[in-house]
Structure 1
Amino acid sequence: MILVRHEIGEVLRDLRQQKGRTLRQVASRASVALGYLSEVERGQKEASSEILASVAEALDVPISTIMREVSDRLSVLEGITSFPDVVPDELVAMATPELSLR
């Protein structure tokens, strides 16, 4: 069974290690208990959107980057080999209304 929390945990751990930060540093900066963040990274606990946002900020990474990586990993696990790598025009227009006036 594929669990999203496992992939989220792996992505968070990978990003933290890529940035050379300890679990303690990220937990402190995100105002999250060290033990809880450890459980999230190991896929044992579900992180709320608020916790994910705090950890993303502590890692100086947009939450969209985290979710994109999770999505890509899930696609691979599900055996999906081709998926679009573009943001739909409707979402771009919603995010940047000034561009939709052109």
Structure 2
Amino acid sequence: MKKYLVATAAGLVMAAGIGAAFAEDVVILKPEQQTVVREYVHSHKLASVSLLGIELGVGTALPDTVELHTIDVPDVKYKYTVVGDHAVLVDPDTRKVVQIIE
């Protein structure tokens, strides 16, 4: 029983370490880009899209029917749209929400 607990604990520690490593590597926008993107999105208002049955959050994949708009900011590959009155940054390759803009 003790061996089982030690192995389980070791596995959990390794899994937590891997998750932390991925979290540290994920940089959506540099701090200076955050401000520029936020100002761009707020000055280029879009009509809000309603997605019934989809809970909006980081990682949510948007359907192909949602139009993504280019952000005219240097070195930003993401596009944006407005879903349920929330502006979101979307990875155009995966169509997944990478950030909700406040």
TM range (shorter): under 0.3
Give TM-score, length-normalised by structure 2.
Answer: 0.23
Larger Rg: 2
Greater relative contact order, per chain length (Cα 8 Å cut-off, separation 6+): 1
Higher strand share: 2
Give TM-score, length-normalised by structure 1.
Answer: 0.23
Higher helix share: 1
